[in-house]
Structure 1
Amino acid sequence: MKPLWFIFLFLQVFVNLEFSWSQAVNTCEIGVVLHPHLYIAGIPLNGEAITAGHKLHFVCRADHELDGATQIECLKTGQWSAPFPTCSAIGCTVPQIEHGSVPTGPREYKENEVLNFSCDATYKRADDRPPRCTIFAGKADWNPTPACRQITCELILPPPTGTTYDPPNKNVFLPGEMLRVLCGEKHWILDAQTRESNVTCNYNGVWNARTECQEVKCPAYIEEDNLYYRVNAWGRNKLGDRVTYDCSWGYQTATADKTATCTREGWTPKPLCRAKQCQRPEIVNSRITVNDKRKYGNGEQLTYECLEGNPNSVTITCERGAWEGIRPCPAPIVCSAPPPLEE
């Protein structure tokens, strides 16, 4: 039987060994080379030992993303619960674009770099803005998203006032397809006299002509020779509107009520002011046979006959400063020089 002092000494040695083993196992070490852009929270100060249950937290620089666990814990075995994470630069990869392709170039793009891509025939970019590698909330993506869409011409339905489409309920047209535009009573397409037209969708996705009818309007100000003053027709210049006017001295209004009317041909009548007298007309290859003088009053007539061709006389009338009924005379017959005589 062993003496008591021997048993006590054995137990003391065992306890010391157990404590030493426990101390060695219950601590963890950072035995790896940390990534340069990795930040760690939770490392003890003053070189204190990292014991079991202690946790470390990880985060990367703003332009990098974390590859691995955001948190690890020191286990009783002296091991970490997971490997130390690393950081990788945030960037965009070359996307797969339906009906489009990316030319040969880099496969990884950094922040703010632009992606160059093209679309297949009959397709175009869905957004005209260049796709840029953008970092948001720690993730990188293309903005706007690179995409291609089929080339089409589009309409806004329902059509604007005064405009009708044929076909009526279709708003997307492929290149080469045609649309008929019909305008209302007071609207126009192409020009003020045209109320309907066919337009075609071009292969660039643009209509070859205007697709909306415009309201007929005359100039807001009437500035015509021989007016007494410039007429302000602002707000009263739509089709059928009427405004009053007056003429300078020596001229008279073309209408008895001194009003001009807005029509598809503009302000009418034309001209608005007419001379009260007519000058002696200059009609080529003719001579006046009745009432030949320098000036003629409104309603006066004269008669002339042509020097060549038709021998019948022509009578014309002075109407508000202009001659009415003039018929031109044929030019005189002129013979070329005779050929030289043979000797």
Structure 2
Amino acid sequence: MKPLWFIFLFLQVFVNLEFSWSQAVNTCEIGVVLHPHLYIAGIPLNGEAITAGRKLHFVCRADHELDGATQIECLKTGQWSAPFPTCSAIGCSIPQIEHGSVPTGPREYKENEVLNFSCDATYKRADDRPPRCTIFAGKADWNPTPACKPIQCELILPPPTGTTYDPPNRNVFSPGEMLRVLCGETHWILDAQTRESDVTCNYNGVWNAHTKCQEVKCPAYIEEDNLYYRVNAWGRNKLGDRVTYDCSWGYQTATADKTATCTREGWTPKPLCRAPIVCSAPPLLEDGDTKSYISSDSVFQHGDKVEYICQQTYTLSGEPFKTCDNGVWIGDMRCLKPCTVNEQLMNTHNIWFAHGYSDKLYVPHKDHLTFVCKRGTRRVGRVPMRVQCNDGEMTLPTCQ
């Protein structure tokens, strides 16, 4: 049995050893290579030791994000409560795009880099602006968000002033669908004499013609030959507006009150200033002719009229007469083309006439044709089986 003094001496030595060991491990050291973009708060100044309980706080540079703990503590064991964090550059990863795809390229994009992506067939980009990797509030994301939407033609609802649609109350149309645009009394579409038009949604999502009616306006300045001075009609050049004018010496005004009127044909009468002269042979009409034979050396008096007709299957647009007005023929007209459908064209689309049998047919402007699919095929696409001729243009349905 050991004497009591020996036991006491052993305990004293053990306590001293434990105290010395604790003193030795009661501090922590930064023994790692810190990331170059990592900032630390809490390190003692003047080379003082980092004792137990000391906490370090971490942040990264603005264009980097922290990977790891934002705070660690020095433990009594001389170890840190967690590993030192690192910083990684903030960037955008390749997004998942419904109905779209990203071609081969980098997996991560840096700030301000642009994403190149494409949309599937029958889809297009939802925003025309290129998506750019943008950092905001320490986070990176694509702006605008890369997305694809169905290819469609869109309309403004409600329609602009002077414009109505048929069918109404729709603003989205699929490729191949048709829309009738109707203009009010003081508006026009295609040309100043036309108040309605059938337009078709193309397969690129763009209408094949304008869908907005324009207000009828005449030139703001009248600079016709033989005027005494240029007429300023600014602000008074809408349909039905009237302005006064005067003619140069040797010419007389076409109206007794010396006024010009804004019409769909422009400022009338035409010309505003006239000498007492006759008209030569009337002008030719494309795809048409005068109703009666007129020789090239014919002479017409003021007020004489000549009637025009269009070739067979062509449709006259406008008044059929031109009038000799102090040496000038006035009156606007044109011949609208028919549509031609032949057997070769129908074979391409796998269709045939629904009524009657013919290998070729001419359809006048605005007339309709109805087709059926050939045996063993059915219609594809959105073009209806009954279509309309529009000045020589007709979109045919397709069967497969």
TM bucket, shorter chain: 0.7 to 0.9
Aligned partners of 1:245 and 1:218: how far apart in 2? 15
Q: Report deviation, 1:285.
A: 9.6
Matched, 1:203 2:203: yes
**Aligned-residue CA RMSD (Å):** 3.3
- Matching residue of 2:158: 158
Q: Report deviation, 1:280.
A: 12
CA contact (8 A) 1:35 1:87 kept: yes
SS in 2 for 1:34: coil
Give, as a single letter, the amino acid of the residue that structure 1 aligns with 2:33: V
Aligned partners of 1:120 and 1:279: how far apart in 2? 63
SS in 2 for 1:45: coil
- Matching residue of 2:125: 125
The correspondence of residues 235-246 of structure 1 with structure 2, limited to 5 A, is 235-246=235-246
CA contact (8 A) 1:132 1:144 kept: yes
Ranges in structure 1 where 5+ consecutive residues have no aligned partner: 289-296, 300-318, 325-343
CA contact (8 A) 2:280 2:297 kept: no
CA contact (8 A) 2:114 2:133 kept: yes
Q: Report deviation, 1:28.
A: 2.5
Q: Report deviation, 1:120.
A: 0.9
Aligned partners of 1:208 and 1:138: how far apart in 2? 46
Q: Report deviation, 1:125.
A: 1.4
Aligned partners of 2:297 and 2:40: how far apart in 1? 111
Q: Identical aligned pairs, as a percentage?
A: 90
Q: Deviations over 1:56-99 (max 9, x none)?
A: 11222333221110101112233322122122222222111111
Q: Report deviation, 1:131.
A: 1.9
The correspondence of residues 1-343 of structure 1 with structure 2, limited to 5 A, is 9=9, 12-276=12-276, 321-322=326-327
SS in 1 for 2:19: helix
Q: Could you tell which deviates more after superposition, 76-85 or 195-204?
A: 76-85
CA contact (8 A) 1:250 1:276 kept: no
Aligned partners of 1:285 and 1:33: how far apart in 2? 101
Aligned partners of 2:32 and 2:262: how far apart in 1? 90
Q: Report deviation, 1:287.
A: 12
Aligned partners of 1:75 and 1:249: how far apart in 2? 110
Q: Report deviation, 1:34.
A: 2.9
Aligned partners of 1:247 and 1:71: how far apart in 2? 92
Distance 1:54 1:270, change over 3 A: same
CA contact (8 A) 2:280 2:298 kept: no
Give, as a single letter, the amino acid of the residue that structure 1 aligns with 2:250: G
Distance 1:30 1:285, change over 3 A: closer
Aligned partners of 1:323 and 1:106: how far apart in 2? 71
Q: Deviations over 1:285-322 (max 9, x none)?
A: 9999xxxxxxxx999xxxxxxxxxxxxxxxxxxx9854
Distance 1:52 1:180, change over 3 A: same
Distance 1:9 1:223, change over 3 A: same
CA contact (8 A) 2:56 2:72 kept: yes
Aligned partners of 1:135 and 1:271: how far apart in 2? 66
Q: Report deviation, 1:41.
A: 2.1
- Matching residue of 1:303: none
Ranges in structure 2 where 5+ consecutive residues have no aligned partner: 282-293, 304-323, 330-400
CA contact (8 A) 1:276 1:320 kept: no
Q: Report deviation, 1:39.
A: 2.6
- Matching residue of 2:368: none
Larger radius of gyration: 1
CA contact (8 A) 2:188 2:195 kept: yes
Q: Report deviation, 1:7.
A: 7.2
Q: Deviations over 1:204-256 (max 9, x none)?
A: 22221111111111122222222222222222221112222222222222222
Q: Deviations over 1:176-216 (max 9, x none)?
A: 22111111111111111111111112222222111111111
Aligned partners of 2:220 and 2:64: how far apart in 1? 64
Q: Report deviation, 1:50.
A: 2.2
Equivalences, count:
296
CA contact (8 A) 2:102 2:118 kept: yes
CA contact (8 A) 2:101 2:118 kept: yes
Aligned partners of 1:95 and 1:162: how far apart in 2? 44
Distance 1:15 1:126, change over 3 A: same
Q: Report deviation, 1:114.
A: 1.9
TM-score (norm 1): 0.76
Aligned partners of 2:157 and 2:80: how far apart in 1? 65
Aligned partners of 1:119 and 1:320: how far apart in 2? 60
Aligned partners of 2:298 and 2:186: how far apart in 1? 49
- Matching residue of 1:337: none
Distance 1:48 1:220, change over 3 A: closer
Distance 1:33 1:276, change over 3 A: closer
SS in 1 for 2:66: strand
TM-score (norm 2): 0.66
Aligned partners of 1:238 and 1:128: how far apart in 2? 37
- Matching residue of 1:306: none
